[in-house]
């Protein structure tokens, strides 16, 4: 009996290890990201934005792609982190960016932990309402507490110390991009570790069928609370990065549009394999940039049109075309494990 268990345990461990192995295409992806630091010095401002959006999308992927929680208010944690980092820096409590990032992430995670219990209850509709409501509430709060947050004018007068005491932020966005990319990479590796762990597997079983997962002995609620907390922390770090790299923070970080755009980012890249948010962020920002130069005021129209088309064509069928190109290729190269 115990021998059998031993064999089983080794087999499971081997399987998990095989799933978690770094694949060639992943190295290519990160290699390209690293190369962009040196090859595209003129594009660092937008690249920094992409890295931040990618981290934010990665955070949503953790709860939507892996745990199946639909959220319309993920900007709540992004904005909370953004304001936390901004306020800490403005009042000279923590001016060192990395420490500020940690603090903002922790605070956002605490908020996420508290909100997780609300999100556990009810159907998709209730979840949508609660996530949306929390984000709107925070936005209203930030708007009303204008003595603290600057209200509609935004939080001004943030001065960040150099990163790690050595690299100060510059106008070309060079430090900002390297900093954001480094944070994205570290947190990505952590997320990768999380989803490939038995914990991550249990999340996917919950997404597949919560009742059955519960019957198999998975503590469904505890797992959901845990991943929601982690994702909130990630979103908080992303928000803090935005504040730190732009030295500014406005009500916009908590807006509904930000949550909605984020869904689009993740849907473009595909959910449930971590790279979706990253690829989606690149595509979305380039798209936004192109559309904004084309029709500065009305690019939202095209974003809406893309959403409608994606749904009408069918995300499933899209994976027949777009993912056939991306994921199939990625699968062949080993970026994404075979189903």
Partner 1 sequence: MLTILFDGIAYGMLLFVLASGLAVTMGLMNLINLAHGAFAMAGGYVAVALVNKAGWPFAAGLLAAFVVPALLGALMERTLYRHVYAKPHLDQVLFTIGLAFMAVAAVDFAMGTQQVFVQLPRALEGQIDLGGVGIGRYRLLIIILCGLITVALQYALARTLFGARLRAAVDDARTARGLGINVSAVFALTFAVGSGLAGLGGALGAEILGLDPHFPLKFMIYFLIVVAVGGTSSITGPFIAALLLGIGDVAGKYYAPQFGAFAIYTIMIVVLIVRPQGLFTRVAGK
Q: Which residues bind partner 1 (CB under 8 A)?
A: 64, 70, 72, 118, 121-126, 128-130, 132-134, 136-137, 140-141, 143-144, 256-257, 260, 263-264, 267, 297-301, 303-308, 310-312, 315
- CA pair distance 284, 262, nearest whole angstrom: 9
Residue with tokens 């999308």: 57
Is the Cβ of residue 160 or residue 224 nearer to partner 1 in the bound state? Answer: 224
Is the Cβ of residue 51 or residue 111 nearer to partner 1 in the bound state? Answer: 111
Is the Cβ of residue 34 or residue 137 nearer to partner 1 in the bound state? Answer: 137
Q: Which residues contact 219 (CB under 8 A, 6 or more apart)?
A: none
Is the Cβ of residue 14 or residue 257 nearer to partner 1 in the bound state? Answer: 257
Q: How far is the CB of 103 from partner 1 (least distance, A)?
A: 25
Q: How far is the CB of 266 from partner 1 (least distance, A)?
A: 10
The CA-based dihedral angle spanning residues 100, 251, 130, 88, taken in that order and rounded to the nearest 10 degrees: 20
Q: How far is the CB of 28 from partner 1 (least distance, A)?
A: 30
Q: How far is the CB of 289 from partner 1 (least distance, A)?
A: 17
Q: How far is the CB of 255 from partner 1 (least distance, A)?
A: 9
- Long-range pairs for 207-211 at CB < 8 Å and ≥24 separation? 207/66, 207/67, 207/68
Distances (CA, A) of 227 to 77, 106, 109, 196: 14, 14, 10, 13
Is the Cβ of residue 243 or residue 271 nearer to partner 1 in the bound state? Answer: 271
What number of other Cβ atoms are within 10 A of residue 260's Cβ? Answer: 18
Is the Cβ of residue 14 or residue 124 nearer to partner 1 in the bound state? Answer: 124
Contact 67, 207 (CB under 8 A): yes
- Phi, psi at residue 155, to the nearest 5°? -90, 110
Name the strand (E) or helix (H) holding 71: none
Q: How far is the CB of 338 from partner 1 (least distance, A)?
A: 24
């Amino acid at each position: 009996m115990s021998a059998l268990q031993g064999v089983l345990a080794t087999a499971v461990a081997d399987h998990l290890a095989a799933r978690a192995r770094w694949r060639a295409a992943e190295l290519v992806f990160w290699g390209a990201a690293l190369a962009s630091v040196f090859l595209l010095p003129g594009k660092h401002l937008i690249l920094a934005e992409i890295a931040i959006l990618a981290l934010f999308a990665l955070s949503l992927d953790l709860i939507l792609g892996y745990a199946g929680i639909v959220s319309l208010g993920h900007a709540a944690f992004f904005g909370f982190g953004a304001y936390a980092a901004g306020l800490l820096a403005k009042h000279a409590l923590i001016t060192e960016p990395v420490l500020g990032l940690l603090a903002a992430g922790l605070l956002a995670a605490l908020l996420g932990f508290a909100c997780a219990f609300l999100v556990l209850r009810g159907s998709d509709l209730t979840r949508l309402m609660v996530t949306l409501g929390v984000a709107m509430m925070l936005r209203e709060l930030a708007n009303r507490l204008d003595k603290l947050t600057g209200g509609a004018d935004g939080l001004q007068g943030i001065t960040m110390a150099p990163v790690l005491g050595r690299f100060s932020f510059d106008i070309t966005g060079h430090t900002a991009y390297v900093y954001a990319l480094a944070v994205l990479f570290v947190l990505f590796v952590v997320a990768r570790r999380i989803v490939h762990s038995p914990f991550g597997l249990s999340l996917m079983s919950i997404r597949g069928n919560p009742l059955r997962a519960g019957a198999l002995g998975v503590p469904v609620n505890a797992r959901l609370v845990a991943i929601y907390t982690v994702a909130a922390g990630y979103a908080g770090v992303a928000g803090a990065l935005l504040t730190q790299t732009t030295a500014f923070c406005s009500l916009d970080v908590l807006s509904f549009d930000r949550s909605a755009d984020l869904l689009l980012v993740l849907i473009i890249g595909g959910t449930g394999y971590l790279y979706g948010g990253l690829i989606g962020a690149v595509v979305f920002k380039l798209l936004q940039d192109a559309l904004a130069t084309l029709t500065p005021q009305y690019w939202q129209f095209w974003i809406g049109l893309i959403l409608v088309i994606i749904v009408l064509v069918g995300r499933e069928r899209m994976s027949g075309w777009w993912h056939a190109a991306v994921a199939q290729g990625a699968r062949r190269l080993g970026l994404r494990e075979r189903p």
